[in-house]
Amino acid sequence: MRFRPNRNGINSFMKTPETGREVERIAGRIAASAAGAEGDFRTDSALGSRRWRAAVIGNYAFAKSGGHAGSRRDLLRGLDGAHGE
C-alpha cells in the first residue's frame, strides 16, 4: 500500500489561525533564547499565499559593534533553546 498525503487538508491546515499562533510562539521562543543576556532580536510573521511564515530578525546591537558571526551564533543558540521545550 502506498501512502498518499491529503495535500488539500495539509494546505488548509497550514493557513489556520491556530497554526499561525503556533508559528508565532515558536519564533518568539527562538528570539528569546537567542537574545540571552544581551542582543536585540525581533520576530515577524505573516500568512503567505500557501502557509504561515515567521522570521527571527537578528541582533542589530551586536552587528553594529561586532559583526555577523556573533549574531549567527546567537540565532543557533536560539534554535537549540527553542528545540529543548
User: Against a cut of 0.85, is the pTM above it?
Assistant: no
How far is 14 from 62, CA to CA, in rounded Å?
A: 34
Average pLDDT along the chain: 79
Nearest to 52 by CA among 27, 29, 23: 23
Residue 82 has pLDDT above 80, yes or no: no
pLDDT band at 61 (very low <50, low <70, confident <90, very high): low
List phi, psi (to 5°) of 38: -145, 165
Give Dmax (Cα) for the chain: 58
Count of positions (residues) in the chain:
85
pLDDT band at 63 (very low <50, low <70, confident <90, very high): low
Which has the minimum average pLDDT: 19-28, 33-42, 68-77? 68-77
The answer to whether 47 and 20 are in contact (CB under 8 A) is yes
